[in-house]
Chains A and B, each alone.
Chain A
Amino acid sequence: MTEAAVQHALLLSALLFAVGALGVFIRRNLITIFMCVELMLNAVNLAFIAFSRSLGMPDGLDGQVLVFFVMTVAAAEAAVGLAIVIALHRHKDTLDVDAFSLLKW
């Protein structure tokens, strides 16, 4: 992978991460926030792959293996997270994240 290609990949990764982070902060719908978190995770995955291809080849596969771990954890997290979302919706009939502010001083 050439130097330029790596830079492009990293740039895309940074952009995706920024989009995801921004989404987490400005959106109120829980499902959207949830998907933005997934977006951030995948942005990081992309960075991992790019670094692995440029620095780790031919035999260092650590970055790519780590991506599989991230994906596995993300899948588990999605299951638990969506279950929580459903539970919250049943409780308050809304998915507005600002509605869930009981846990404070």
Chain B
Amino acid sequence: MLEDPLVNRLPFWALWLPLVGFIVLSLFGDWIRDQENEARAKGDTSSLRARGTFWAMVMGCATVAAAFVFSAMSVWRLMQLLPGHEGLRFSQPYLGFEWIDVGGLRLPLSLLLDPLSSVMILVVSGVGGLIHIYSVGYMAHDEERVRYFSYLNLFTFFMLLLVLGGNLPLMFVGWEGVGLCSYLLIGFWYKKQSASDAGKKAFIVNRIGDAGFILGMILAFHTFGSLDLVEIAETVASKPAEAMGEIGILTTIALLFFIGACGKSAQIPLHVWLPDAMEGPTPVSALIHAATMVTAGVYMVARLGPLYAHAPTAMAVVAVVGAVTALMAATVAVVQTDIKRVLAYSTVSQLGYMFLACGVGAFGVGIFHLYTHAFFKALLFLGSGSVIHALSGEQDMRKMGGLRSRIPKTYWTFVAGWIAIMGIGLGSVGFAGYFSKEEILGSALAAHWPWLFGIALLTAGLTAFYMSRMMFLTFFGLYRGELEEAGHHSAGHGHADAHAGSHGHGGIHESPWSMLGPLVALAAGSIVAGFIHVPAFVAPAVRVEAPEPHFAWLPYLALLVSGAGITIAYYLYVMRPELPGQVSASLRPFQKLLEAKYYFDDVYNAFAARIVVGGSDRTLWKGVDTALIDGAVNGAGRVVGAMSLTARYVQTGLVRGYALVILGGAVALLYYLLWLR
């Protein structure tokens, strides 16, 4: 236990601020908006009242920015203290009282600040803060922007709680909280049927994963007698590792937790909710469904690294599921036409990469990719938001093209994200994605999983291909939409980000600086973030020996594969734009399989949904509820009613008759008490 007031208090301040922001914005949001509308109706446009929602949004950003400052200060302080304390690897700030203290279960309100959670809180509050600022511009014309910011603040609070929580139940509170915020924000435009459906889908699919998390927690408590993260890590270390192929208690716990991670981090078979989650506002997709929340599963697996290291079967499952997800999502991304859906499948694919890294024992590398991915994927999502904004809501890439010269600032930041996600680089110089991707590939090979390495390499090539395809379709060639020719800005744009119609300017337009600023910052991050070697930084927190990748030829091979992907995409979509149609026509069955996303949704609909709905309708509702339960209740009522038909004649209405009965009763009671007892 580290006794330092700074390190013990600051993380709590980082937690409370976004919560305070949420409370203030949710309580006063409507009032602020009404005040603003009232003031504007009187022609006032500059006073504090008339700019209330703007300042409310600024406050939403400020709480997260302050949380970032506090996070950075506490991390800095922790790093300063650690060398002075031999053997110390973490700090557990404690609020001073227990959340639950029953029997053998003791759950203090304590956090866990170590290098692993340090990386996470900096990513969450840093990238999250930039996305908050971007949202000020992006949501500027949305009627419910204050409600939007209150949700974002609540999300930041829960996400920080998730990564800082010192024991599993506290982590689970954050876990559920971010799920709730994800649901609220996917369905933010709840008047749109598809958006509210997507929100429900995300929530329900996540429930399946959460069930795994809860069962894992119960089993972990049963096995280790504690739910504290540090205690579990230390208890596991004293146990013998289970053999490969054996399904012992540690493997079971690890697999149950992995089910939870699958749900939250959109891995096969629970990945179906993430692409649909793109119905939410684009900054939400960037914040929750790319940079932070969906990486919670990776964080959890890395946090429980010692447990997984003792359960090789569970590790193999993690690695295989990660690799298969990475490849599957990458292939689906190739045929998507919606710019945000390409990015969504790309996110699923990259998350698969992270799990692959964790599965081969390189937990630090998984966190490294999480960290670089947060930058470039948030950048790409926000960039796509800027493109969508420029085109007044158009998301179909077939109606884009040639935007390079129309929105050059967005284009150049997008280029940074594009190169970063493909992992272009050589030697010790490269974009952020290069370093982490390189280490994942190397770790897979070093851990003697050659075919997983093959899948990862193929995925890298596919990543380069579909990202280049998106790049070329969006920014190169000729513009294929009809925005400038037509009168446009009619209300008829069937457009997910429904803010477009209220813009004062027409045509293709560059985004305001509140949106471009975060883009530039994230682009800078996508370029330089990889130079901080995260695996070495988090190694003391992960406590697992990672495989050491030393393959001098690997960067060249990876560069070759990525280059091939780019070249093919360039040939198909820039030099010979008529070719893709012919290629897909000749590969019709394969194309259909990809367009149907491997029929996951259809299979779930046909089996799970239909069985559940049908079973509920016919058996549980009409059979059990209506016939059995209602029948029992109504039957009891009917029996009483029938009996009362005769019994009611006791009520004669004659008062003296009643008095006589009372007297008779009293006499009988007296007789019993005096003589019979």
Contact = CB atoms under 8 A, between A and B. Distances in A.
Nearest to B647: A105
A97 interface: yes
Interface string A91-105: 000000110111111
A6 interface: no
B652 interface: yes
A24 B660 CA distance: 9
B656 A104 contact: no
Contact of B651 (A97, A100, A103): A103
Contact of A25 (B651, B653, B660): B660
A105 B651 contact: yes
B41 interface: no
B653 A103 contact: yes
A104 B652 contact: yes
A105 B663 CA distance: 22
A100 B655 contact: yes
B656 A102 contact: no
A85 interface: no
A97 B654 CA distance: 8
A9 interface: no
Contacts of A105: 648-649, 651
Interface in B659-677: 659-660, 663
Q: Which interface residue of A25, A98, A104 has the most chain B CB atoms within 10 A?
A: A104
B652 A25 contact: no
B656 A97 contact: yes
Interface in B125-180: none
A41 interface: no
Interface residue tally on B, bucketed by range: 10 to 19
Nearest to A103: B653
A102 B660 contact: no
Contact of B653 (A21, A24, A101): A101
Contact of A101 (B649, B652, B659, B663): B652
A104 B654 CA distance: 8
Contacts of B660: 25
B659 A98 contact: no
A97 B648 contact: no
A104 B655 CA distance: 10
Interface in B637-659: 648-649, 651-656, 659
A-side interface size class:
10 to 19
B667 to A, nearest CB: 10
Contacts of B651: 103-105
Contacts of A103: 651, 653
B554 to A, nearest CB: 95
A100 B658 CA distance: 13
Nearest to B656: A25
A101 B652 CA distance: 8
A91 to B, nearest CB: 15
A103 B655 CA distance: 10
B649 A24 contact: no
B643 to A, nearest CB: 14
A24 B654 CA distance: 13
Contacts of A100: 655
A68 to B, nearest CB: 24
Nearest to B654: A101
B648 A24 contact: no
Nearest to B645: A105
A21 B663 CA distance: 8
A37 B307 CA distance: 81
A24 B379 CA distance: 93
Contacts of A21: 663
A17 B420 CA distance: 103
Contacts of B648: 105
A25 B659 contact: yes
Interface of B: 648-649, 651-656, 659-660, 663
26 contacts: A21-B663, A24-B656, A24-B659, A25-B656, A25-B659, A25-B660, A25-B663, A97-B655, A97-B656, A98-B654, A98-B655, A98-B656, A100-B655, A101-B652, A101-B653, A101-B654, A101-B655, A102-B653, A103-B651, A103-B653, A104-B651, A104-B652, A104-B653, A105-B648, A105-B649, A105-B651
Given A24-B659, A98-B654, 7 more contacts: A24-B656, A25-B660, A25-B663, A97-B655, A101-B655, A104-B653, A105-B651
Which A-B residue pairs are the 10 nearest by beta carbons? A104-B653, A101-B653, A105-B648, A104-B651, A97-B655, A105-B651, A24-B659, A104-B652, A105-B649, A101-B654
Interface of A: 21, 24-25, 97-98, 100-105
